[in-house]
């Protein structure tokens, strides 16, 4: 999910195998080096920090801070940066572990592609060849996908299973509580915020997979 990209953004093709990132750790899935991963991808595509910032419509300082693991970007900002390549959050947080054929998944087998105040646990490790992405989401009190509205191609929907969430779709805003649901074209700018006092849990779906 991502905001509208500036006119200067273009899709790139990587010239060769990725370089290795630094060993520092950043907020995200346990043990995941967000800064090193972003640096690895940027260098793989032959972009400087300034060039990536320009294409993504963010500041050069933001890219630098993220790569140093000195700042954890919002979901919307990270998606905006990844759309330059283009790359989904699921691909960004991919651990490289081999996929196996499976039809059933224990709770501890779901793959974390978020982390921090917003957890996105994906059903299945790889989305290659898939038309649907399923997520178990958990947003802690105060969690927010970001002031920059999310926007991407496709459709999404979900059901609140615990707590409450404020959802803005275009110019409409609604607080959804346990048992309530939503469904809308993902091309409409949208934002999720947990203004409650307890964690909010959702089960959501996105098609085609783009998150």
**What pLDDT, on a 0 to 100 scale, did the predictor assign at position 17?**
38
The tens digit of pLDDT for each residue in 171-194 reads: 999 999 999 999 999 999 999 999
> For the domain bounded by 1-87, which CATH number is listed?
1.10.260.40
Average pLDDT of 153-178? 97
Using CA atoms of 56, 62, 68, 71 in order, give the dihedral in degrees to the nearest 10: -120
**87 pLDDT tier (thresholds 50, 70, 90):** confident
Element (H, E) at 166: strand 164-169
Cβ 104 vs Cβ 29: under 8 Å: no
Residue tagged 């809308």 (tokens): 184
Q: Which of 143, 158, 142, 157 is nearest to 202 (CA)?
A: 158
Token pair, residue 179, equals 């048992």
Give yes or no on whether 1-87 and 107-207 have one common fold.
no
Residue 22 pLDDT level (bands cut at 50, 70, 90): very low
Q: Given a cut of 90, is residue 143 above it in pLDDT?
A: yes
From 1.10.1660.10, 1.10.730.10, 2.60.120.10, 3.40.50.720, which CATH number describes the 107-207 domain?
A: 2.60.120.10
Is the pLDDT assigned to residue 21 strictly greater than 90?
A: no
Give the pLDDT score at 98: 57
What lies within 8 Å, CB to CB, of 187 at 6+ separation is 151, 152, 153, 154
DSSP calls for 45-59: TT--HHHHHHHHTS-
CA dist 132 and 125 (Å) reads 13
Kindly report the pTM of this predicted structure.
0.69
Answer whether 200's CB lies under 8 Å from 139's CB.
yes
C-alpha 82/C-alpha 75 separation (Å) is 11
Strands 155-162 and 200-207: antiparallel
pLDDT at residue number 64: 94
For residue 84, pLDDT beyond 50 = yes
- Higher pLDDT: 84 or 127? It is 84
Q: 193 vs 24, which has greater pLDDT?
A: 193
pLDDT of residue 88: 83
For the ranges 75-79, 129-133, 148-152, 170-174, the one whose mean pLDDT is highest? 170-174
Judge contact between 209 and 133, C-beta under 8 A.
Answer: yes
Burial classification of residue 115, based on how many CB atoms lie within 10 Å of its CB (0-12 exposed, 13-18 middle, 19 or more buried): middle
Q: What are the boundaries of each domain within the chain?
A: 1-87, 107-207
pLDDT per position as a tens digit, 106-118: 999 998 888 789 9
């Amino acid at each position: 999910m991502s905001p509208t990209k500036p006119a200067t953004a273009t899709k790139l093709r990587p010239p060769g195998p990725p370089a290795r990132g630094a060993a520092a750790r950043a907020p995200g899935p346990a043990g995941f080096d967000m800064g090193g991963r972003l640096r690895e991808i940027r260098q793989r595509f032959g972009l400087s920090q300034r060039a990536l910032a320009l294409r993504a419509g963010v500041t050069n300082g933001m890219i630098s801070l993220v790569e140093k693991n000195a700042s954890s970007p919002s979901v919307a900002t990270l998606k905006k940066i990844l759309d330059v390549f283009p790359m989904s959050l699921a691909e960004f947080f991919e651990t490289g572990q081999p996929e196996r054929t499976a039809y059933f998944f224990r709770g501890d087998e779901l793959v974390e592609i978020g982390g921090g105040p917003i957890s996105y646990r994906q059903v299945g490790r790889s989305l290659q060849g898939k038309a649907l992405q399923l997520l178990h989401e958990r947003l802690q009190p105060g969690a927010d996908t970001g002031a920059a509205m999310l926007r991407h191609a496709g459709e999404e929907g979900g059901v609140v299973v615990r707590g409450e969430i404020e959802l803005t779709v275009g110019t409409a805003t609604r607080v959804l509580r346990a048992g309530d649901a939503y469904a809308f074209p993902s091309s409409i700018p949208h934002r999720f915020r947990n203004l409650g006092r307890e964690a909010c849990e959702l089960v959501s779906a996105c098609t085609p997979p783009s998150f």
